[in-house]
Amino acid sequence: MGSLFSKKENKVNRITEQDKAILSLKQQRDKLKQYQKKINLNLEKEKEIAKKLLMDGKKEKAKLMLKKKRYQENLLQKTDSQLENIDKMVHEVEFSLIQIKVAEGLKQGNEALKKLHEMMSLEDVEKIMDDTKEAVEYQNEINALIGGVLSEEDENEILAELNELDKINELPSVPKHELTEIVNLDSVITKQDTARKVKAKETPVAAS
C-alpha cells in the first residue's frame, strides 16, 4: 500500500519547473497563433478601409487606421520572436542557470498577449469611418493604445504607405463608354471573320 502511494508521489514529482515552463510556452504560442490568424485577416481589411477614407478626404482617419495596422504587425513580430528565443533557452541551455530569464520572458510574453487581446477588442474597424460619438470614442481608444509605441521609422513608413494609397486612388479609371466601344469593335471583327469563312465555303471551286 505504502509503495503504491510512493510511486504516485514520484510520478507527480517528475513534473519539473522546466516542464511547467515548456507547457506555459506552448500555451502562449497557441494563443499567439489564434491572434495571428485573426489579425492577418483584419490587416488587408484595414488597408482597404484606409483607401476608402482617403477617397472620402479623411486623411487623418486613414493615417490612424494604418497606425493600428502597423502596431499589430510589430506586436505580432516581437511576440513571435520572443517566444522563439525562450523556446531555444528552455531546450538548449542548462535550465537551472536561466530559470529567472525564462520566467521573465514568459511574463513579457503574457503582457504582449494581453496587448494583442486589447487590440482585438477594437477589431470593429468600420467604426472609424463614421463621425458619430461612438466612432470618435473608438478612435480615441486606438490612439490611447498605440500612443508613444510606434518608432520614428514606423511613422515614416506609415506616411509612405499613406502616400502610396493616395496615388492609387488618384489613378484615372478607364471610362465605361470606352470599354463598350472596345467590346463592340471586337464583336464587329468577329462577325466579319465569320462572314468571310461562310462566303469562302459557298464559293465553288473552278474546274480545271
Instruction: Give the span between the Cα atoms of 166 and 69, in whole angstroms.
Output: 17
Least confident stretch, 31-40, 125-134, 168-177: 168-177
Least confident stretch, 33-37, 38-42, 67-71, 168-172: 168-172
* Amino acid 188: pLDDT: 46
Residue pointed to by grid coordinates 463592340: 184
User: Which residues have a Cβ under 8 Å from the Cβ of 72 and sit 6 or more positions away?
Assistant: 39, 42, 43, 116, 119
Taking the model in full, what pTM does it have?
Answer: 0.53
In contact, 49 and 65? CB cutoff 8 Å? yes
Angle at alpha carbon of residue 74, lines to 69 and 78, rounded to 5°: 155
Instruction: Give the span between the Cα atoms of 60 and 65, in whole angstroms.
Output: 9
Locate 65 and state its grid cell. 487606421
